[in-house]
Structure 1
Amino acid sequence: MSIKRHYEREFVRTFFTSPTAVEGEDDSAKMLRSAAQLTGMQAPDVWVPDNEDATAPSMRDEGVENIVEVVSEYGADFPGEIHPRIVWHRDDPATRYQGFQHMLEIADPANGAIEHIDGFVVPEVGDIDDWKKADEFITIVENEHGLEEGSLSMSVIVESGAAELALGDLRTEMGKPANNLERLFLLVDGEVDYTKDMRAMTPTGELPEWPELRHNTSRGASAAGLVAVDGPYDDIRDVDGYNERMTENQAKGMIGIWSLTPGQVVEANKSPLPPKTGSWLLEVDDREIELEAADGKQIYNGDKVRLETTDSGYVLHTGGETTELDEDDLRKKLLDMTAYVPSMDDIVDSMEEFEAAKEAGKGAIAMTQSTTLVIDGVEIDIEKDRMWDEATYQAAQTPITLFQDVYEHRPDQHEELAEMYGADIVERATNVGN
């Protein structure tokens, strides 16, 4: 089944929410106004004026007025997409009706905001029939205001077991004449309400990790041609934890993540991009430690791995084990313990080399990575060969395709990208693979 997309972004790195109305402030829209003026790496790919959880129920009508006012004023210059979150609940018709009324107000062309709004985010959805209700309401909004049918996208937050099960229905339901579910854009995890819906508990009261939910959401997005986004990471000071979570997600195909602050937006905008410089990793106690690069060598400075020379070879101490090895066996052991993280330059070089080989009629070529490891002052040269064929090339292309998507849709980040990589690498990266 071919699904027609109603949106341009193939990748979304950042999903940034802002309360639409703040109580006790002279300007209740101050946080909306601040977010609307973000640019560069501080500006998200998707900005979500949040008229649900982030805004008190008593302030939500005012929140709608603020969305209209702020988006009308700043929306034309905002560099990302704008998707307000309205109220909704699978078990409450009154809440669904309120969300419908809010969408009608926001989408009214007479108010001047809708020309800058790309779609709506619908929280607390249930089974697939509930998704269809939200879709039908958006269809009615479009028809009520003379908008092109399907022009407003719909993103949902997966916050219940029913919504998680609905992910498996999307392939068969999207594209049916009875609905406009092709308008779907983002599938966003909401682990807090999901935990409540699942009646889950942990001894500390912390949220479970829910790797299964993240996997299922990513799989559902892949199967239906949509974009998967992880939920919020509440410890906004834990930058390392936030980056670890993103690295785990990216290995599942979930590139995007919820951002709660402009600082998190910066981290999440940069995280999936290829690194500026390559790095070597050494596996130590089931963890990968980045080695220190100096004078073309990779140096391990920890005390968990030790290496010494003997008259007959080497003695390697690691993981509580002591092993005597000759030079060949040591080299094989260290090869098993090391990994290389390629830089943007490395990826582009390899892709260009493979493209040239393919033009010359070769189906596969060997790519070599080599370095000198230094452990306890002992130097060992290692070399890794990796065969590149068409499948390897396609897999390596994903981070470059993401970069190209960012470069196309976020011209406000061009200067920062050129500073990060250099203008020459940026130019080559935008052209390779095309």
Structure 2
Amino acid sequence: MPEPRIHGREFVRTFFTTPTAEQGVDDSAKKLRKAIQLRGMQAPDVWVPDNEDATAPNMRDEGAENIAEVVADDGAGFPGEIHPRVVWHRDDPSTRYKGLQHMLEIADPEKGAVDDIDGFVIPEVGDIDDWKKADEFITIVENEYGLEEGSLKMSVIIESGQAELAMGELRDEMGKPTNNLERLFLLVDGEVDYTKDMRAITPTGGLPEWKELRHNTSRGASAAGLISVDGPFDDIRDVEGYKDRITANAAMGMLGIWSLTPGQVEVANKTPLPPQEGYWTVEADGRTVELDDEGDAQVYNGERIDLEKEGETYELEVGGDELVLDEDELREELVDLTAYVPSMDDIVDSMEEFESAKEAGKGAIAMSRSATVRIDGVEIDIQSDRMWDEATYQAMMTPVKLFKDVYSNRPDQHDALAEMYGEGVVERALDVGL
């Protein structure tokens, strides 16, 4: 069994990288100085001054100096955690040694930054022995400067088959007296280098989705008491695609994602949280479509579903499938096709109702939600019922725990959360589950 979690955060939504030094400009640390001033929803949970891929090799020594200088000047005011990424490679001792030198530069107490450095991000790790080398190097840094062992966190980027397999060994290795792997914090997917390592080919040259890698990283993090984070979403203009990726990840327990711009940070900070308003969806020929709330009805205005009433029967067409149904059969079909996405207020209402039922000695209660659905002018009333027991309650506690974790660790986002949900809902959300 791994040692209990030693880090305070249970969730990380955003992992934002910034180049540490740029050549040919008056101030090579300009982007670092701008990023460290981010606040509110544009500020990430974890900021990563990136002294590896985002910074040219001939600028990395200066990049390490820039990190120390910028964090010393403004790190105390940054609302998230600060985890510089240093160079590392499982097959190259000279690269690992350079990473150690950069960590020593950044963490030197005389530079004034180490009090605001939360840990380091180690890329290109290999098998579990390589993870132990990185841990040992960070232990060396701590001992060099009189820091408490384990006080600097270590996050790794899963960019190889070796690293993916190593996640399965963490439960056996963490907590042994021969290492300080309890310092591990984030497991971050790096799909680009992983694709290269796997020698994968796609017809377009684009990246495979690597759903299995994301699942394995989420599972590895859960088993070892860590936090999983997805890799970069390169199409920064595709906001809806980014949201869809975050939503798909959340369904497998991976609530964090790499962010490349402050705009992506804002999207990734908000998307895993319950929505401000609840809404109905319908499965329309393989696509989940949000219904339009027109007050008296939830309306489908697309072209993938057709509904006509012929006398006492209804003709429902979804994609190429046609069904002739009576009213009760249509109602059952629409109940199967539709779903309700609860708001934070809805979730808190349900949890409070279940808590009251438990106090009254009930082990399970039915929660109902009804709506009028309108398709092609034809209306039908539906009602969905869900049985709530203790297991349901605990599952629904996850988004509330996420909210509480954000509220506790990100005071700079309190105003934004109050604006999203209202002060009353925020207070009630903080109270449920106590």
Question: TM-score, normalised on structure 1?
Answer: 0.99
Bigger CA drift: 322-331 or 344-353?
322-331
Matched, 1:266 2:266: yes
Q: How far does residue 318 in structure 1 lie from its aligned partner after superposition?
A: 2.0
The answer (yes or no) to whether the contact 1:6–1:151 under 8 Å persists in 2 is no
How many Å apart are 1:6 and its aligned residue? 3.0
Alpha-carbon distance in structure 1 between the residues aligned to 2:323 and 2:258? 46
1:321 and 2:325 matched: no
Aligned to 1:237: 237
Aligned to 1:129: 129
Cα shift at 1:311: 1.9
Q: Deviations over 1:296-316 (max 9, x none)?
A: 410111122121222222221
Q: How do 1:326-345 and structure 2 match up within 5 A?
A: 326-345=326-345
Aligned to 1:111: 111
Aligned residues: 434
Shift in Å at residue 341 of structure 1?
0.6
Distance in 2 (alpha carbons) for counterparts of 1:84 and 1:321? 54
Cα drift, residue 322 of structure 1: 2.5
In the alignment, which residue of structure 1 is the partner of 2:29?
29
For 2:424, the equivalent position in structure 1 comes to 424
Aligned to 1:181: 181
Given that 2:14 and 2:265 are in contact with CA atoms closer than 8 Å, whether structure 1 keeps it comes out as yes
**SS of residue paired to 1:355:** helix
Give the % identical residues: 73
Deviations 1:203-242 (A, max 9, x none): 1110111111101100000000000000000111111111
Residues 4, 321 of structure 1: CA spacing in aligned structure 2 closer, same or farther, 3 A cutoff?
closer
Superposition deviation, residue 317 in structure 1: 2.1
CA distance in 2, matches of 1:392, 1:107: 45
Matches of residues 367-382 of structure 1 in structure 2 within 5 Å?
Answer: 367-382=367-382
Partner of 1:22, secondary structure, is: coil
SS in 1 for 2:308: strand
Question: How far 1:321 sits from its partner (Å)?
Answer: 2.7
Measured in 2, the distance between the counterparts of 1:203 and 1:302 equals 32
Shift of 1:2: 5.1
Tell me whether 1:144 sits opposite 2:139 in the alignment.
no
Residue 157 of structure 2 corresponds to residue 190 of structure 1? no
Alignment partner, residue 408 of structure 1: 408
- Asked if the contact 1:331/1:381 (under 8 Å) is kept, the reply is yes
CA-to-partner distance for each residue in 1:144-187, whole Å, 9 max, x for gaps? 10001100000000000100000000000000000000000000
Give the unaligned 5+ runs of structure 2: none
Give the Cα separation in 2 of the matches to 1:318 and 1:117: 55
Cα distance in 2 for partners of 1:5, 1:374 equals: 50
CA–CA distance in 2 between the matches of 1:349 and 1:150? 41
SS in 1 for 2:188: strand
Q: What does 1:160-239 align with in structure 2 at a 5 Å threshold? A: 160-239=160-239
Note the alpha carbon deviations across 1:118-158, whole angstroms, 9 max, x for none.
Answer: 00000000000000000001001101100011000000000
The code of the aligned residue for 2:280 comes to: W
Residue equivalent to 1:353 = 353
Letter matched to residue 169 of structure 1: E
2:13 maps to: 13
Cα distance in 2 for partners of 1:69, 1:103 equals 14
- 1: CA distance between counterparts of 2:399 and 2:392? 13
CA distance in 2, matches of 1:271, 1:296: 28
- Provide the C-alpha distance between the structure 2 equivalents of 1:312 and 1:6, rounded to a whole number of angstroms: 64
Q: 2-side partners of 1:30 and 1:303: how far apart?
A: 50
* Code of the aligned partner of 2:205: G
Do 1:72 and 1:112's aligned partners in 2 also have CA atoms closer than 8 Å?
A: yes
Question: Which position in structure 2 is the counterpart of 1:100?
Answer: 100
Once the 2 structures are TM-superposed, how far is the Cα of residue 295 of structure 1 from its aligned partner? 1.5
Farther off after superposition, 231-240 or 2-11:
2-11
Alignment of 1:55 onto 2:35: no
For each residue in 1:95-134, what CA deviation from the matched residue of structure 2 results, as whole angstroms up to 9, or x when unmatched? 0001001111111111100000000000000000000000
Q: Give the aligned residue type for 1:98.
A: K
Alpha-carbon separation, structure 2, partners of 1:2 and 1:201: 37
Distance, in Å, in 2 between the alignment partners of 1:212 and 1:311 is 50
CA distance in 2, matches of 1:38, 1:3: 34
Gaps of 5+ in 1: none
Aligned to 2:353, what secondary structure does the other structure show?
Answer: helix
The residue number in structure 2 matching 1:46 is 46
- Tell me how far 1:288 sits from its aligned partner: 1.0
Tell me the C-alpha RMSD between the 2 structures: 0.8
TM-score if structure 2 supplies the norm length?
A: 0.99
How far did 1:433 drift?
0.9
Equivalent position SS for 2:383: strand
Contact 1:280–1:298, Cα closer than 8 Å, also in 2: yes
Distance 1:311 1:106 in 2: 77
